Amino acid sequence: MKRAAIYSRVSTYDQHLETQILDLRQMAAQRNLEIVREYGDKISGTKAKRPGLDQMMTDARRGRFDVVLVWASDRIARSVKHFLEVLDELSRLNVEYVSFREQIDTAGPLGRAIVVIIGAIAELERSLIVERVRAGMRRARLEGTHIGRNPLVLDHEAIWRERCQGQSMRQIAKGHRISTATVQRSLRKHPTPILVQDLQKTA
């Protein structure tokens, strides 16, 4: 018997989740599904934060159920883009998606075809986002804008001086607000000018 999760949502507090839940419980019984948890939100569909949906997706990633039952697709997603993202992730998690109103079932042939189409659209959207980011970075470079964090500027002479004075790697790192690994690289890659000067004076 497959494990099922129910998700329902209404937009206002004067509406009731029970209408959707009763239909979904009946559908689960007809399909011989075991309902392991019911999730619900009373919130507008355009809101980004939905505790019930967020918890359901977290449990899906943990493998808590095999099927998600929703009353309608517009109950689970706030936009077409969000719906594609949710369905694509559920598909990658091997969680089936069943919609009561639209009669969408990703376990059937038509449902699997829908998942393939949705996955392709989601992949295209991700590719377009990456290309837009790269185009923005190219334009920024052409305009002379620095991308990324500024290079770390170190006082290598001071680091060597403090080391020669007997300070530990950790003390030097704390004083310069850098890691001990950075102190080690500085000492290894930059010869000490202080020791060179001392040798010249004694020559």
Residues with catalytic function: 11
Residue 31 near residue 41, CB atoms below 8 Å: no
Enter the tokens of residue 118. Answer: 């949705």
Going by C-alpha positions, the residue among 76, 78, 67, 81 that lies closest to residue 37 is 67
> Are 74 and 45 a contacting pair, CB within 8 Å?
yes
> What is residue 67's three-state secondary structure?
strand
Q: How many other CB atoms sit within 10 Å of the CB of residue 196?
A: 10
